[in-house]
Structure 1
């Protein structure tokens, strides 16, 4: 049981956590840079109380969930530093972890033992507290990236928190997390944004979009995500993302060469290999949910 849960950033992720956490929290308070968003969160019953003051919001909290964009993490750590308490558990939901750890080191000199970096692999194109869904984390993975200095009891409590939200918790090294997520999440988002932007700039865009079928809709779905959030993610995970963009550029040139030379065998082999990789992914997903 959590006596007072403080959620900093009451958007899709923070709001969804709040909705489900009602089952095991006596009180849920929210802090958000947008006063109107806080009012909506209260009106919708997502939180019990919205706090404009960080000091008031975290006072007496025994669990703090940081659900702000990754670009805001260092200023938030600086604001939290004089309020940080050893008897409280802190965790975050950022899509990148290296920058979070580096920010903690710059602010605190160490990563506080009662701070456990985390990342729920869950989300939606919609953002804001109105999109909050109590079932968002059911069956989803949450990756925690504890460090050698992390307190075992803090890690256990953060694991239990996410498990109570219906998630499946895994642990991963910080650097490995950022490499994996660059490939499976950050690169696909950049590609979707780029394709949607490229086609949207064409003179005949109205006609292009009129005749776009399910494939276009599926591929560009994630281009409806929050641009500010993805700006922060791309900047935070710049190294791994640039490496993958270089590999993708090489792969595109290879396919362009096959099309240019009308290499039917080469194209068929390329598409077959891709299909096999996709089927392997789907089978792995099915087995993990079995």
Structure 2
């Protein structure tokens, strides 16, 4: 089966994910042109220079020219974008996104777009990096990674298939799950780790001897805190738009760390080792299945 062609694609928000998407689509040769919409002129200029986008346009111009519009801005900005899009969205234009949370975005789309919500097919490419902005973009960022699609009941089978092909063209493996399941899973395996990484960095930085501690930090600390360099705005929005699921995971984590604290306080080495063995074996088994 020959690869689909997606015509003119607009990327709204050309940071790491948006610019990488532009590079990936152009590398795959499946688009006529990639247009960029954004609020940072420096970022747009960078995306233009590196060939991630072909032109910078306004949202109305993008809506008039595009077959697919991809929303790659922080999730808290999605509702405002839907409001701007609703009166200008053409009947044959599809909208997808790259947001890390899904339920609140879907709610906003249905409330704002109304009957046009059927043209929105929510997605989440499981790819990224500690650095952010167009300068960090890579054409192969999505290759071999998952992209999750959380279809709406209103989406037609034809539109869903096209967006599946669209994300597959980046080299990603596409999987379909519900928005609720998505938000619960990624609260545990993505959102919580980022919160913990920020927390550890803050804990060390708040110490009187922070410089000394950082001066002696090794690979373990570096690995654990790598994701604390991620976009603060993006992760603020993720925490607020997936609040209930993140709080559930955070409460469970705090209960476990409280239990470990009690074992350490009681010098209960046998119980500590038993738990560490359980965690270590699970981690080794998981790594081996990758």
Unaligned runs of 5+ in 1: 286-290
Note if contact 2:64-2:89 (Cα within 8 Å) is conserved in structure 1. no
Alpha-carbon distance in structure 2 between the residues aligned to 1:56 and 1:85: 11
1:254 equivalenced with 2:231 (yes/no): no
Note if contact 2:95-2:120 (Cα within 8 Å) is conserved in structure 1. yes
Note if contact 1:111-1:149 (Cα within 8 Å) is conserved in structure 2. no
Over aligned residue pairs, what C-alpha RMSD do you find?
1.0
Unaligned runs of 5+ in 2: none
Match of 1:157 among 162, 165, 171: 162
**How many residue pairs end up in the alignment?**
284
1:222 equivalenced with 2:227 (yes/no): yes
Alpha-carbon distance in structure 2 between the residues aligned to 1:26 and 1:122: 25
SS in 2 for 1:83: coil
1:111, distance to aligned residue in structure 2 (A): 6.6
Tell me what 1:11 maps to. 15
Alpha-carbon distance in structure 2 between the residues aligned to 1:77 and 1:266: 52
Note if contact 1:101-1:111 (Cα within 8 Å) is conserved in structure 2. no
1:25 equivalenced with 2:28 (yes/no): no
Note if contact 1:199-1:205 (Cα within 8 Å) is conserved in structure 2. yes
Tell me what 2:45 maps to. 39
Alpha-carbon distance in structure 2 between the residues aligned to 1:248 and 1:50: 44
Note if contact 1:115-1:154 (Cα within 8 Å) is conserved in structure 2. no
Alpha-carbon distance in structure 2 between the residues aligned to 1:43 and 1:136: 19
Tell me what 1:276 maps to. 281
1:110, distance to aligned residue in structure 2 (A): 5.2
Alpha-carbon distance in structure 2 between the residues aligned to 1:34 and 1:234: 23
1:235 equivalenced with 2:240 (yes/no): yes
Alpha-carbon distance in structure 2 between the residues aligned to 1:80 and 1:40: 25
Alpha-carbon distance in structure 2 between the residues aligned to 1:153 and 1:49: 29
Match of 2:55 among 25, 31, 49: 49
Q: Deviations over 1:169-211 (max 9, x none)?
A: 0000110000000000000000000010010110101110111
Alpha-carbon distance in structure 2 between the residues aligned to 1:108 and 1:137: 29
1:66, distance to aligned residue in structure 2 (A): 0.8
* Superposition misfits of 4+ residues, deviation over 2 angstroms: 108-111
Alpha-carbon distance in structure 2 between the residues aligned to 1:184 and 1:213: 24
1:41, distance to aligned residue in structure 2 (A): 1.4
SS in 1 for 2:270: helix
Q: Deviations over 1:35-86 (max 9, x none)?
A: 22212211222111011x2101222211111111101000000000011122
Q: Deviations over 1:243-282 (max 9, x none)?
A: 1111111101100011011111101001001101211221
1:65 equivalenced with 2:70 (yes/no): yes
Distance 1:26 1:250, change over 3 A: same
Q: Deviations over 1:74-111 (max 9, x none)?
A: 00000000111221111000000001111012212357
Alpha-carbon distance in structure 1 between the residues aligned to 2:113 and 2:35: 25
Alpha-carbon distance in structure 1 between the residues aligned to 2:45 and 2:136: 15
